[in-house]
Amino acid sequence: MPAWTHCPGSNWRFRCDRRCGGVGLVSYCKLTMLLTEAIEALAIATRADGRSSETVGGYRRKLKPLVAFLGDVPVEEVTTGDLRRCIVHLMERTTRWSHHPKLRERAGGLSPFTVAGHVRAIKRLFNWLKGEGMIESSPTRKIRTPRPKRREPKGVAMDDFLALLATTEGGSVADRRDRAILLFLADTGCRVGGLCNLQVRSLDLEAGLAVIVEKGDKTRLVPFNPPTAEALRAWLEVRSQDQGPWLFVSLGPKARGRLSPGGVAQMLKRRAQRAGVKGPVNPHAFRHFFAREFLMNGGDLATLADLMGHSSVEVTKASYAIFTVQELKEKHRRHSPVARILGGDGDGKSRHS
């Protein structure tokens, strides 16, 4: 049987069957897109929309298990049932990191948060295909994204932050740079990508403002306080002038150019070891630290969402408005109307008696 041929300039394929003395009977069918082709098309569209290469890579990585489970099938043949079976497969897996570009596969299933990330990527793919007119309806329309139980806060503890800061009081070039990084992360809540992309010309020390670029090409303004400005000024006094426009640069005889996110993580790990800190100190833990302290001291979610560069308050609430029981008790003690009127210092005495 003759193969299907793509009609140039159209969205159709055709096949010609020679029958009845050479008379051609032509059959047509709509051009199909395979799952791998759809994923690559989504990646290209996402990058063209200005999203970061990390976001694009995340889509590719999170959608690989879908292809591995279903095969490289035409996208219009994927059903809601297929996707549900794939999600159950992800939930019941006994290994993790099988498609990670840097980590080896190891025993242990996927966390509920990882499964939810895969589901969001799957929904993004098919909703995008529907929006582009490549499928008539999305098979994900009846699929809900799993909502994992909220876990304990994973931000830097205040005592740990102070211990880290104490290791930078020596006054060396590395101390000045690292102190400025610690304070900038804690004072702005910026993402590590925004910190590493920050240029000297984007900094206004007198006004206490910086223009940062995060998640591809998203630009936003972040404020910082005088202690952070002082640390930044001290770093600029000793910063090498021949390493490009970046504010935070690598150090050492062979180091050149911008400090990478991995470099920031390694610096924090070294400082934690020196300070004897055992709690989380990764760059994102500082973002949680900023959010938690902002809310604990009376800040509101709407303002916090703006300061953190979130698209909605719901994102901030779901990911960062998470407190321990003791923190909730303290927040309640500070802001309860009964505590304000009748006393909330634990002595049982009214402030108005």
Tens of pLDDT along the chain (353 residues) come to: 455 455 554 444 444 554 444 445 545 455 578 999 999 999 999 988 888 788 888 899 999 999 999 999 999 999 999 999 999 999 998 877 666 666 666 777 888 888 989 999 999 999 999 999 889 899 999 998 887 666 666 789 999 999 999 999 988 999 999 999 999 999 998 989 999 999 999 999 999 999 988 876 778 889 999 999 999 999 999 998 878 899 999 887 776 788 999 999 999 999 999 999 999 999 989 988 888 888 878 777 778 778 878 767 676 666 656 655 666 677 666 666 666 666 655 444 444 44
Residues 229 and 294 in one domain: yes
Closest CA to 132 of 201, 181, 75, 174: 75
The phi, psi pair for 315, rounded to 5°, reads -60, -45
Within a domain: 153? no
Is position 335 within any domain?
no
| Token pair recorded at residue 232 | 């930044």
| Residues 192, 104 within the same domain | no
Range of the domain at 18: 1-31
SS3 content of the chain, % helix, strand, coil (to 5): 50, 10, 40
Residue 3, C-beta contacts closer than 8 angstroms, at least 6 positions apart: 15
Integer Cα distance of 101 and 12 in angstroms: 36
In a domain, 47, yes or no: yes
Domain annotation covers residue 337: no
> Is residue 4 within 8 Å of 15, Cβ to Cβ?
yes
Q: Do 26 and 42 fall within a single domain?
A: no
Is residue 140 a contact partner of residue 120, using CB atoms and an 8 Å limit? Answer: no
User: Whole-angstrom Cα distance, residue 291 to residue 299?
Assistant: 9
Count of domains forming the chain: 3
The answer to whether 78 and 70 are in contact (CB under 8 A) is yes
| C-beta neighbour count of 343 within 10 angstroms | 15
196 plus 305 within the same structural domain: yes
Determine the Cα angle at 171 with ends 168 and 174, to 5°.
Answer: 65
CA distance 261 to 246: 13
Q: Are residues 163 and 306 in the same domain?
A: yes
Question: Do both 10 and 80 map to the same domain?
Answer: no
